[in-house]
Amino acid sequence: MNMGLTEHEQFIVNLLHKNNNKMNYKQIQIACENEFEGVRLILKGLKEKGYVSFEGIIPNFASEIELIRDY
């Protein structure tokens, strides 16, 4: 476990890792909806920390999210 990541950030990193390091935002949102809220802001934070890549500052439903760094 990386102490630099929150539990929710780790959940999303693990989810991406299990899905060949790439998912669209809607898939991530659906996978997380019963776990926690605020997926967009969590992804924004992961991008700022250098873990994921996507176009723009905050992802939208069409965004492709790619894991670029594992913990």
**Residue located via tokens 């997926």:** 39
Helix, strand, or coil here: 66? strand
Q: Are 67 and 47 in contact (CB under 8 A)?
A: no
Q: Which CATH number fits domain 7-67: 3.30.160, 1.10.3470, 2.60.40, 1.10.10?
A: 1.10.10
Give the pLDDT of residue 2: 56
Q: Give residue limits of the domains in the chain.
A: 7-67
Rounded-to-integer distance, Cα 70 and Cα 61, Å: 23
Average pLDDT, the chain: 93
Helix, strand, or coil here: 1? coil
Q: Which residues of the chain have pLDDT under 70?
A: 1-3
Q: Which two tokens stand for residue 1?
A: 């476990």
Q: Which two tokens stand for residue 68?
A: 């670029």
